[in-house]
Structure 1
Amino acid sequence: MSFHIYLLPTVPVAYLATASLAFHILLNLPQGIRNLGFPVFLVPAWRAFATFKCFTWPASLAGIWGLAVLIWMTHIISLLYIDKIQPQSKSRKQWDIKAAYKLLFDVRHLSQSGTNSPPVAAYALRGSSLAFVASRLVKLLVFWLLTVYLFTPLIPLIFGPVQPWEFDHYAQTYIRRLPLFETKEPVTLRETLIRIVFTIRWVWLNYVDVDAAHTFLSIIFVGILRIDTPEEWPSMFGSPLEAYSLRRYWGRFWHRLVYRPYLGLARAVAEKLHCNSLGSRFEKCFLAFMIFLISGVAHAIVSLQDGNYAEAVDDVAFYCMNFLLIAVEEIFIHVASPLRCFLPRSCWRLVGFVWVFMFWFWAAPKWAYHEVHEELVKEAERRNRAQGLQMITGLLGMK
């Protein structure tokens, strides 16, 4: 039975490998046959997504795998059916397995943006690969130490024991419970401080989940399989110092895995709706909205597959709200532009950082408090059950 559990993660991996083979076949066929053969790719790719619960450790891996497969499916669909990439080109021969592989997982289109460096000598490449793997192993170690010993126990470490009610549905609201609204249960200083620390912890854990998975895969493909070079695995995230607006948070700091795949779908929709006839500014705005909408739908599909039906609606609403807030942010920046000469740039950036943090201070608990609440309730039930068993054992011993 335990051996069967160990083999479970190979199920979605096998489906992904089958879908990858299907992509290689479809890539080398004429467009008409590709259209007919789409289910050959779609069925195993969807199964690779639908079986993400086979990943049981670490706890966040299942959701990351599911979302990554959806992004990858969008990337392949964009290549084959939107860009309609030719079976053969100047840089790629037909049935070229290596060239097909380079297209297969190049979700960020790094090869097209010129990120890859020119070929180097074998000994230099070997040395750079070893240094790359060593640095990535150190990075994973630092991630693990900080996550396990600092950020995971951060809240009880600072505030002591916490109770489930401090993270319940009522605690998710904040603005409506400020003292100025004369609410029956206004927010407290402890609640506010917990919320601040939770926001920092939540952003860190989400960042580490994605970056650690990317780092681990880079070690596999560069150091073990040796089918990629270090230049083909650049960092996914930018500097947090660039995140002094919501637009820059998503565009400069957070990973850009979804941008190129979702942009392809967004352009296809915009073309069908003839958005270009309404002007380039409207078209750019529509494309940005579609990218956020598709992101929300992708997260919602993961939530639905995981059985969290209520979260699916929240996922779509959250990403659409981000688009609206960025639009308001752009209007504010335009209106306030004459005032920039009166204050140094550092002051404006500080205001921007405060604004971005306040947004996550409001949004993160709405998205994640329920998970903490459920875990605390389960922990309390386990503790009460253990205490009950101890009492029964003691009574039996007395007799």
Structure 2
Amino acid sequence: MISYIALSPSVPVAYLATASLAFYILLNIPQQLRNLCFPIFLVPAWRAFATAGCLTWPSSLSGVWGLAVLIWIAHIIGLLYIDKLPVQSKIRKQWDIKATYKLLFDVRHFDTNRTTSPSGAVSVSRTASLVFVASRLLRLVVYWQLTVHLFTPLIPMIFGPLEPWEFDQYAQTYLRRLPIFETPEPVTARETWIRAVFTFRWIWLNFVDVDAAHTFFSIIFVGVLRLDSPEEWPAMFGSPLESYSLRRYWGRFWHRLVYRPYVGLAKVVAGKLHVRSMGPRVEKTFLVFLIFFNSGLAHAIVSLHSGNLAEDVDDIAFYCMNFAVIAAEGVIQNLASPIRKFLPSWLCKIIGFVWVFTFWFWAAPKWAYHEVHEELLNEVERRNRIQGLRLFTGMLGGEQFR
């Protein structure tokens, strides 16, 4: 008999498959029926999110899965109820399974401007497929080795034993504790270096969580199932060399997975509030704000579902803060444009990189230090229990041989 634990990772996948089947049905029925039958998609889709806790390895997988499912739900809602795709078109016949599949997971809308039918068979040479799979497997191995042997133990490896108080709520603040403010507990050199290394480590781990999942599924769909071509799985992230402003960090380097699903929902809200009448600049700013707000809301829902009740407001505040800083950054760049004309481009980029790192140096611990603090507290509690157990068993042993 197979235990539930052995089957548990398949539970969210089964719910996702059921929701995908529901999408296939909804896509091929008239719009009026779609509105009535929407629960047949929403219920299993939400259960695919709610059962993310069944995915226990690696430890970050449940969070990545939960966020991906929420983005996917927004993508499907956009196709069915915002774009209102017809039951058939010039490039898709009704009840066309392959064409529906191409729409199903095309969250970044790569197939929007396809000139050929997406229902055609994927023609990929065996050599190209093998090269693609081999390169992606190598990437996963590199990610695994760097994460396990370098970035995960990086801070204790450099700074030695760590104490929980070094990551508590007081340690999350930095600027207010600089010596120039005559604070009772000013920041130390050790604390500054820990914060700097933590910032690099935090960016890396968040990058790897998303890109490793994307790489793994590209291997499955291109190399194993052979449903897609390598061109349909382009890089999730851009070059980090493009992130010499916070706006470019989010727009050029970080993944754009949320943009198309969230901008569709944002346009609906903007339309209801008649934001367009305020001018194109106001409308664009409002849409960007809602994209960041929706990102924070999705992270808050994941945090709330995982039991981290204190993090949900912080998640929303974090993304709204990024929007506010990007808006301020744009104003400052416009004011400084006369000066930038006299500076070489490489110097402007270096200043930009320093600014972006400084922002994350300040912001990342505010969002992530509490996780490290809880882990260290749990580790201290575990050590104390082990020491108490050893003491207790030692006392029993001593009494036994009196």
Q: TM-score scaled by structure 2?
A: 0.96
2:315 corresponds to:
315
| Residues 157, 59 of structure 1: alpha-carbon distance in 2 compared, 3 angstrom cutoff | same
1:88 corresponds to:
88
Q: Map Cα deviations across residues 117-163 of structure 1 (whole Å, 9 max, x no partner).
A: 999995x5221111000000000000000000000000011111111
2:206 corresponds to:
206
Secondary structure of the corresponding residue to residue 171 of structure 2: helix
| Residues 121, 90 of structure 1: alpha-carbon distance in 2 compared, 3 angstrom cutoff | closer
1:369 corresponds to:
369
1:392 corresponds to:
392
Between the aligned partners of 1:72 and 1:321, the Cα distance in structure 2 is 25
22-31 or 267-276: which moved more? 267-276
Is the CA contact 1:13–1:48 (under 8 Å) kept in the aligned structure 2?
A: yes
Between the aligned partners of 2:207 and 2:290, the Cα distance in structure 1 is 24
Secondary structure of the corresponding residue to residue 93 of structure 1: coil
Q: Map Cα deviations across residues 206-256 of structure 1 (whole Å, 9 max, x no partner).
A: 000000000000111111111111111001000000001111000000000
Spell out the pairing of 1:40-189 with structure 2 (5 A cutoff). 40-113=40-113, 122=123, 125-189=125-189
Q: TM-score scaled by structure 1?
A: 0.96
Structure 1 runs of 4+ with >4 Å offset:
113-122
Secondary structure of the corresponding residue to residue 111 of structure 1: coil
Is the CA contact 2:122–2:226 (under 8 Å) kept in the aligned structure 1?
A: no
Between the aligned partners of 1:249 and 1:49, the Cα distance in structure 2 is 28
- Give, in angstroms, the shift of residue 276 of structure 1: 1.5
Is the CA contact 2:12–2:47 (under 8 Å) kept in the aligned structure 1?
A: yes
Unaligned runs of 5+ in 1: none
Between the aligned partners of 2:233 and 2:319, the Cα distance in structure 1 is 27
2:352 corresponds to:
352
Aligned residues: 398
2:248 corresponds to:
248
Q: Map Cα deviations across residues 275-329 of structure 1 (whole Å, 9 max, x no partner).
A: 1111111111111111111111111111111121221111111111111111100
- Give, in angstroms, the shift of residue 390 of structure 1: 2.3
1:274 corresponds to:
274
| Residues 113, 309 of structure 1: alpha-carbon distance in 2 compared, 3 angstrom cutoff | farther
User: Which residue identity lines up with residue 63 of structure 1 in the other structure?
Assistant: G
Between the aligned partners of 1:57 and 1:117, the Cα distance in structure 2 is 38
Unaligned runs of 5+ in 2: none
User: Which residue identity lines up with residue 356 of structure 1 in the other structure?
Assistant: V
1:32 corresponds to:
32
Secondary structure of the corresponding residue to residue 309 of structure 1: coil
Is the CA contact 1:116–1:231 (under 8 Å) kept in the aligned structure 2?
A: no
Between the aligned partners of 2:282 and 2:160, the Cα distance in structure 1 is 51
124-133 or 12-21: which moved more? 124-133
Between the aligned partners of 2:290 and 2:145, the Cα distance in structure 1 is 38
311-320 or 92-101: which moved more? 311-320
1:5 corresponds to:
5
Which structure has the highest helix share of the two?
1
| Residues 304, 132 of structure 1: alpha-carbon distance in 2 compared, 3 angstrom cutoff | same
Is the CA contact 1:20–1:104 (under 8 Å) kept in the aligned structure 2?
A: yes
- Give, in angstroms, the shift of residue 392 of structure 1: 2.8
Between the aligned partners of 2:368 and 2:38, the Cα distance in structure 1 is 37
Is the CA contact 2:91–2:116 (under 8 Å) kept in the aligned structure 1?
A: no
Q: Map Cα deviations across residues 178-208 of structure 1 (whole Å, 9 max, x no partner).
A: 1111111110000000000001001000000
257-266 or 367-376: which moved more? 367-376
Secondary structure of the corresponding residue to residue 157 of structure 2: helix
User: Which residue identity lines up with residue 382 of structure 1 in the other structure?
Assistant: R
Between the aligned partners of 2:12 and 2:107, the Cα distance in structure 1 is 19
1:342 corresponds to:
342
Is the CA contact 1:28–1:87 (under 8 Å) kept in the aligned structure 2?
A: yes
1:292 corresponds to:
292
Between the aligned partners of 2:307 and 2:264, the Cα distance in structure 1 is 29
User: Which residue identity lines up with residue 4 of structure 2 in the other structure?
Assistant: H
Is the CA contact 2:122–2:227 (under 8 Å) kept in the aligned structure 1?
A: no
Is the CA contact 2:243–2:252 (under 8 Å) kept in the aligned structure 1?
A: yes
Between the aligned partners of 1:121 and 1:154, the Cα distance in structure 2 is 43
User: Which residue identity lines up with residue 333 of structure 1 in the other structure?
Assistant: Q
Between the aligned partners of 2:116 and 2:137, the Cα distance in structure 1 is 22
| Residues 3, 357 of structure 1: alpha-carbon distance in 2 compared, 3 angstrom cutoff | same
Is the CA contact 1:116–1:232 (under 8 Å) kept in the aligned structure 2?
A: no
Q: Map Cα deviations across residues 59-89 of structure 1 (whole Å, 9 max, x no partner).
A: 1011111100000000000000000011100
User: Which residue identity lines up with residue 249 of structure 2 in the other structure?
Assistant: Y
| Residues 206, 115 of structure 1: alpha-carbon distance in 2 compared, 3 angstrom cutoff | farther
Is the CA contact 1:92–1:99 (under 8 Å) kept in the aligned structure 2?
A: yes
Secondary structure of the corresponding residue to residue 172 of structure 1: coil
168-177 or 379-388: which moved more? 379-388
User: Which residue identity lines up with residue 85 of structure 1 in the other structure?
Assistant: L
Is the CA contact 1:117–1:231 (under 8 Å) kept in the aligned structure 2?
A: no
- Give, in angstroms, the shift of residue 340 of structure 1: 1.3
Secondary structure of the corresponding residue to residue 341 of structure 2: helix
